[in-house]
């Protein structure tokens, strides 16, 4: 949704409010939503530039839920399953990520995602040593700032 031009997102407004229909102006048709129709969107507010944020009139047509990272035990299970590594390695990766997440707003825009942990796990599973895998998949994609890289590399070195 945030990738669409703001002047085009208003096209869905009548579909997402009490009217529950979608006007197709070029065809001169009005499509009525099925009673079971639902529209679900996902986006990360504040993650992209303000130029890419949803219009308030669009946001107000949806209910909202906050999501955070999974709790450590569950995230470890995800990394084990998706990254094909043992639980001990996955747990270490999760601990590194938790350290990075504490730096959000203190030099990092975002902490290490579960997706990045899986990438690092997959590299480790292919025989790349853990420190190199973490630098390639976790640290370098997050920041170009040399001091922050040193800080994140130190977290990696603490666990690996």
Task: For residue range 20-51, list pLDDT tens digits in order.
Answer: 999 998 999 999 999 999 988 887 766 555 55
H or E, element range at 123: helix 114-125
Which pLDDT belongs to residue 52? Answer: 65
How confident is the model over 120-144, as a mean pLDDT?
97
What is the average pLDDT value for the chain, to the nearest integer? 90
- The reply to whether 153 falls in a domain is yes
pLDDT at 111 over 90: yes
Q: Tell me which residue has tokens 């130029």.
A: 51
- Domain limits for position 46: 6-59
Which pLDDT belongs to residue 50? Answer: 52
Q: How many other C-beta atoms lie within 10 A of the C-beta of residue 97? A: 24
Contact, 41 vs 58, CB < 8 A? no
Asked if residue 77 and residue 49 are part of one domain, the reply reads: no
- The reply to whether 65 falls in a domain is no
- Burial class from Cβ neighbours inside 10 Å (0-12, 13-18, 19+) for residue 100 reads buried
Asked if residue 124 and residue 102 are part of one domain, the reply reads: yes
Asked if residue 42 and residue 94 are part of one domain, the reply reads: no
Asked if residue 155 and residue 84 are part of one domain, the reply reads: yes
pLDDT at 54 over 60: yes
Asked if residue 42 and residue 101 are part of one domain, the reply reads: no
Between CA 98 and CA 72 the distance in angstroms is: 8
Contact, 2 vs 53, CB < 8 A? yes
**Domain tally, the chain:** 2
- The reply to whether 66 falls in a domain is no
What is the SS3 assignment for 104?
strand
Of the residues 18, 37, 59, which one is the last residue of a structural domain? 59
Least Cα distance to 118 among 133, 101, 104 occurs for 133
- The reply to whether 55 falls in a domain is yes
Between CA 112 and CA 142 the distance in angstroms is: 7
Using CA of residue 48, residue 50, residue 51, residue 54, what is the dihedral sign? positive
- The reply to whether 126 falls in a domain is yes
Asked if residue 91 and residue 47 are part of one domain, the reply reads: no
What the block records as the tokens of 19 is 């009217």
Contact, 138 vs 117, CB < 8 A? yes
Q: What is the largest distance, in Å, between two alpha-carbon atoms of the chain?
A: 64
Asked if residue 55 and residue 111 are part of one domain, the reply reads: no
């Amino acid at each position: 949704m945030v990738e669409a031009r703001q002047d085009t997102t208003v096209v869905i407004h009548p579909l997402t409010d009490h009217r529950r229909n979608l006007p197709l102006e070029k065809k001169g048709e009005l499509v009525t939503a099925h009673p079971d129709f639902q529209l679900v969107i996902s986006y990360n507010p504040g993650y992209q530039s303000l130029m890419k944020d949803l219009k308030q009139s669009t946001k107000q047509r949806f209910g909202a839920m906050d999501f955070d990272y999974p709790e450590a035990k569950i995230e470890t299970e995800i990394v084990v399953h998706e990254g094909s590594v043992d639980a001990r390695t996955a747990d270490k990766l999760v601990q590194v990520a938790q350290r990075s997440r504490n730096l959000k707003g203190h030099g990092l825009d975002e902490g290490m995602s579960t997706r990045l942990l899986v990438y690092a796990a997959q590299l480790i599973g292919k025989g790349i040593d853990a420190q190199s895998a973490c630098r390639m998949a976790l640290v370098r994609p997050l920041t170009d700032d040399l001091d922050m890289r040193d800080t994140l590399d130190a977290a990696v070195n603490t666990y690996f």
